[in-house]
Amino acid sequence: MMRQVTLAAAMMALAALAPAAGRAQTVKLGIVDSYSGPMAGVGEQLDRGIRLYMHQHEKDLPPGVKLEIIRRDDTGPNPAVAKRLAQELITRDHVQLLGGAIFTPNALAIAPLATEAKVPFIIMNAGTSMITTKSPYIARVSFTLWQSSYPLAEWAAKHGIKKVYSVVSDYGPGIDAEQAFTKGFTSNGGQMLGAVRVPLENPDFVPFLQRAKDAKPDAVFSFVPAGKQATALMKAFGDLGLRTAGIKLIGTGDITTDEELQNMGDVALGVTTMFHYSAAGDRPANVAFVRAYKAMFGQNQEPSFEVVGGYDGMAAIFHVIRAQHGKIDPDKTMALLKGWKDDASPRGPIYIDPETRDIVQNEYLRRVEKVNGQLENVEIETIPMVKDPWKVLNKAN
Ligand code: PHB
């Protein structure tokens, strides 16, 4: 009897020690990102953020804990594909965490699955405000369009811009950007001369910008998804002569996304945007980040905000893995994400608002300037620690 008890106790003690004694505890993370299709460049940026973080920090996982990342390609704004991939990641691959989501419709398609299966879903890009209200298992480390558009509108109204025409992509984040800008601008005495929404798929910006030009505004306000669409918008703005007609271009930082800026050319000079990240930011954490990024991906490469979304998303994921020693409990994970903060993100200090599970961060007013022959989003003002204004105004969690 005595011997049996001792043996049982010894076996239990051994089982508790097992991970440390070499049996690896593997955490599975499913990433749904846009690796192919016309928006593949944006998806690649996010993935580079994940890779850079892993390169620097894989060694910081607790002893015996491994992180397996399973990547799936949603091919662009394609909610049906995103939903199927997330379903497979949950039911077949048994992931304990989900991450990624460049596009709002894809994030919305995954949200109910995260709830049903209790799989925490860390949104690394998609920016429509209400996404976080769609599942208690969502936390967002990226941004919202209200976060940039609303303070930009307040700034514009106070800096001599009186009449604005809005040109946005016709889906969630574009509609948020248009509504946020309109509210911030008109409540500070500005006048909207008109607003058009451009199809997300195969957009031709020319007829929309022509309408904006004909209205003779002081400025065009715009949001389009970062990447090649931003470059196409900028080219159309130049080709149609809006700049030479004295019309300014202002918008969210998506329209002067850092990785495309050199491709846009001098038409981008002077474009003023509000955003949470610029590769030109001179914070020490960002200088080190940009240096590490260039060392890994090439000296002529600039990290965009999507890189930072992937990078900070991994920082949040490492936090929950480490705090739980690799044994992921969904509710404990969400409790750990609520209030998680990082004072040394490349974008400045960040934290996850425990009430909304959405990110709180600085917004920077930036202007495109030439520095040492290169176009840069030079930060000129900081609006500290902005909470998603849509949630503040609507008291929505
Ligand atoms: C989104 O779909 O939420 C989205 C995509 C690209 C961006 C910003 C937001 O640049």
Residue 10: per-residue pLDDT: 54
Q: What average pLDDT does this structure show over 349-370?
A: 98
Pocket test for ligand 1, best of 33, 75, 125 (most atoms within 8 A of CB): 125
Nearest CA to ligand 1 atom 6: 225
pTM to 2 decimal places? 0.94
Q: In angstroms, what is the span from residue 21 Cα to ligand 1's centroid?
A: 44
* pLDDT: which is higher, 267 or 8: 267
Query: Does ligand 1 lie within 6 Å of residue 390's CB atom?
Result: no
329 confidence band (pLDDT: 50, 70, 90): very high
For residue 11, pLDDT over 90 is answered with no
Q: What is the mean pLDDT of residues 16-29?
A: 69
Alpha helices in the chain (DSSP H): 2-17, 40-57, 79-91, 104-117, 145-157, 172-186, 205-214, 228-239, 261-264, 284-297, 305-323, 330-337, 389-394
The alpha carbon of 244 and the centre of ligand 1 are apart by a number of angstroms equal to 29
Instruction: State mean pLDDT over 8-28.
Output: 62
Percent of the chain surpassing pLDDT 90: 92
Q: Using CA atoms, how far apart are residues 232 and 236, in angstroms rounded to an integer?
A: 6
Ligand 1 pocket check for 49: Cβ under 6 Å: no
Model pLDDT, residue 2: 45
Supply the pLDDT for residue 103: 98
Output phi, psi for 156, to 5 deg: -60, -45
Q: How many CB atoms lie within 10 A of CB 10?
A: 10
C-alpha 282 to ligand 1 mean position (Å)? 25
Average pLDDT value for residue range 8-20? 51
pLDDT over 90 (residue 378): yes
pLDDT at residue 12, rounded to an integer: 54
> What pLDDT does residue 13 have?
52
Q: Which of 45, 74, 75, 103 to mutate to test the pocket of ligand 1 (most atoms within 8 A of CB)?
A: 103
Q: How much of the chain exceeds pLDDT 70, in percent?
A: 94
**Quick check: CB of 173 below 6 Å from ligand 1?**
yes
Instruction: Determine the residue type at 190.
Output: G
pLDDT of 159: 97
- Least confident segment among 18-27, 52-61, 218-227: 18-27
* φ/ψ bin of 372: left (φ > 0), alpha (ψ from -120 to 50), beta (otherwise): left
How does pLDDT run across 288-319, given as a tens digit for each residue?
Answer: 999 999 999 999 999 999 999 999 999 999 99
pLDDT surpasses 90 at 7 = no
Q: How confident is the model at residue 382 (pLDDT cuts 50, 70, 90)?
A: very high
Q: Taking residues 217-226, what's their average pLDDT?
A: 98
- Comparing C-alpha atoms, which of 329, 289, 287, 332 is closest to residue 309? 289
pLDDT at res. 131: 98
How far, in Å, is the centroid of ligand 1 from the Cα of 11?
52
Residue bearing the CA closest to ligand 1, atom 2 = 103
pLDDT of residue 186: 98
- The β-bridge relationship of strands 359-371 and 272-275 is antiparallel
CA distance linking residue 14 with residue 155, whole number of Å:
62
Per-chain mean pLDDT for the chain? 95
CB 279 within 8 A of CB 307: no
Confidence of residue 48 (pLDDT cuts 50, 70, 90): very high
Q: How far is CA 356 from the centre of its chain?
A: 16
pLDDT at 395: 81
Ligand 1 centroid from CA 127, angstroms? 6
- Say how many Å lie between the CA of residue 125 and the centre of ligand 1: 7
Ligand 1 centroid to Cα of residue 39, in Å, is 10
Q: Is the CB of 225 under 6 A from ligand 1?
A: yes
Q: According to the model, what pLDDT value does residue 202 have? A: 85
DSSP, res 62: P
